[in-house]
Amino acid sequence: MCAQRATDLESFMQGVEAKNPGEVEFHQAVREVAADVIPWMQDHPIYLNLQMLERMAEPDRVVSFRVCWEDEEGNIRVNRGYRVQNNNAIGPYKGGLRFHPSVNQSILKFLAFEQTFKNSLTGLPIGGGKGGADFNPKGKTNREVMRFCQSFMTELYRHVGADVDVPAGDIGVGGREIGYMFGQYKRITNQFTGVLTGKGIEYGGSEMRPEATGYGAAYFLDEMLKTKGDSVRGKSVLISGSGNVATFAADKINHRGGKVLTLSDSGGFIHDPDGIDLEKVNWVKDLKNNRRGRISEYADHFKNATYHEGKRPWGVPADLAMPCATQNEISSDEAGTMLANGIIGVAEGANMPTHIDGIHQFLNAKILFGPAKAANAGGVAMSGLEMSQNSERRSWTNEELRNMLRDIMTGIHARCAEDGTQKDGWCNYVAGANIAGFKKVANAMLAFGVV
């Protein structure tokens, strides 16, 4: 890849695949961006000549480290921790930490690559990074989670900092884990700085951060529908997941007059034909955050609902969908089923939830398809605002931040529309997000010369 310019997608991808063997999720994420950016660079050869895409697809650095901790029985456990610092051309590295047994270098490289474009789209000065560990918080006691987080931060602290790299939450990392990690960072460095976002309100966190990703994705869905003179009101919506993103997306769909039909977790999905209203969503938040239970319990509690073990919700007929669980959770076949059932819009709350063949089907059908790097950028945008508040040593109000989030999502939509709208008026938001996200980072890199 080094000497060869990215003049065509397949030769570029051959280089990426040879250089990053077996990292299939990373290949997938790069391919999705390259498919739009390479043709665009043909008309803007300066980026091609300076190998901008090759440079963005090579992380600035990947750190991996041992994380030792002791479980309740006194056994020594060994996990692997990572931080992928992909690109800091437009600001400090920024992106979440994922704790899940599936975590590996490929998954974190795909997430850090995506994050670079997403963060660029927000319009805020934040670069792209991601990290985490193959630690499974499920079934662990609070004390075990605390010991793991402390051990993880005891290595990570040397690689992060308020102006260097600012991690946050992702799958398996919520307020509890951020608290333990922030406490350990403060203890080691004796500094109270905005080194993490998603902090508790009492110690420098921001109002609206928990809500921001899910709310932002619903705002993005609304923005797309608005271009057709339509809205979420009265529409049925499939949501997957039942964590942070899914539950706040479900709240906002309810606020906007939509009807949420499904939620899921790694065990299966529930279908509630009566609609999962705000009260039921609160019940799910309590189930998942406090009782740490399974979504199957929903169907035991709400009698009209059904539970579908080992299945995903995409076969249920509905108007709209918001995948909010994990990568590759909508297969090509499932995308086909959704289209056959008349789906008109998809906003991705999770990162890379739709398989690349599924994306092609949605785009060929010219539905409203909001890709993750645009639709779920509300969370990291609110993290960016948390960083601003920490720097200023002040806090904005919930209402101020809600208005800022709405403006940021409208801005992202406009940026995608500018670069993605086709001659017939239909917007390819995938192309729009990729090109708009790329341009800002590439222009900053242009200013720095060859570094």
Reference 375, options 359, 364, 388, 361; nearest CA is 359
- Considering only residues 351 to 410 of the shown chain, the ones binding ligand NDP according to CB under 6 A are 351, 376, 379
**Crossing angle (nearest 10°) for helices 378-392 and 105-121:** 70
Structure tokens given for 257: 């007059």
Q: Residue 50, Cβ neighbours under 10 Å: how many?
A: 17
| 154 or 434: CB nearest ligand NDP | 434
Where does this chain touch ligand NDP (CB under 6 A) — which range of 46-54, 67-75, 186-194, 259-267? 259-267
Per CB under 6 A, which of residues 216..255 are in contact with ligand NDP?
A: 241-246
Residue 378 beta carbon to ligand NDP: minimum distance, rounded to whole angstroms:
8
Chain residue whose CB lies nearest ligand NDP: 243
Which among 24-32, 121-129, 148-156, 167-175 is the span making contact with ligand NDP, rule CB under 6 A?
167-175
Residue 119 backbone dihedrals phi, psi, to 5 degrees = -65, -35
Give the C-alpha separation, 357 to 187, whole Å: 48
φ and ψ at residue 445, rounded to 5 degrees: -65, -35
- 130 catalytic? Reply is yes
What is the end-to-end Cα distance of the chain in Å, rounded? 17
Contact residues toward ligand 2IT (CB under 6 A) are 94-96, 115, 168, 170, 197, 351, 379-380, 383
State the minimum distance, in angstroms, from the CB of residue 98 to ligand 2IT: 8
What is the b/e burial string over 2-22, where b = at least 16 CB atoms within 10 angstroms of the residue's CB?
Answer: eeebbeeeeebbebbbeebee
**Binds 265: which of ligand NDP, ligand 2IT, none (CB < 5-8 Å by kind):** ligand NDP
Q: Please, which residues bridge with residue 236 across strands? A: 259
Q: CB neighbours of 400 closer than 8 A, spacing ≥ 6?
A: none
Q: Is 437 in the site for ligand NDP (CB under 6 A)?
A: no
**Catalytic residue chosen out of the listed positions 118, 130, 235, 439:** 130
Partner from ligand 2IT, ligand NDP, none contacting 129, C-beta within 5 to 8 A by type: none
Which of ligand 2IT, ligand NDP, none lies near 95, with the C-beta cut-off 5 to 8 A by kind?
ligand 2IT
Would residue 443 be called left, alpha or beta, if left means φ above 0 and alpha means ψ between -120 and 50 degrees? alpha
Task: Give which of ligand NDP, ligand 2IT, none residue 325 binds (C-beta under 5 to 8 Å, depending on kind).
Answer: ligand NDP
Where does this chain bind ligand NDP (CB under 6 A)?
A: 169-172, 213, 241-246, 265-267, 324-326, 349-351, 376, 379
Catalytic residues: 130
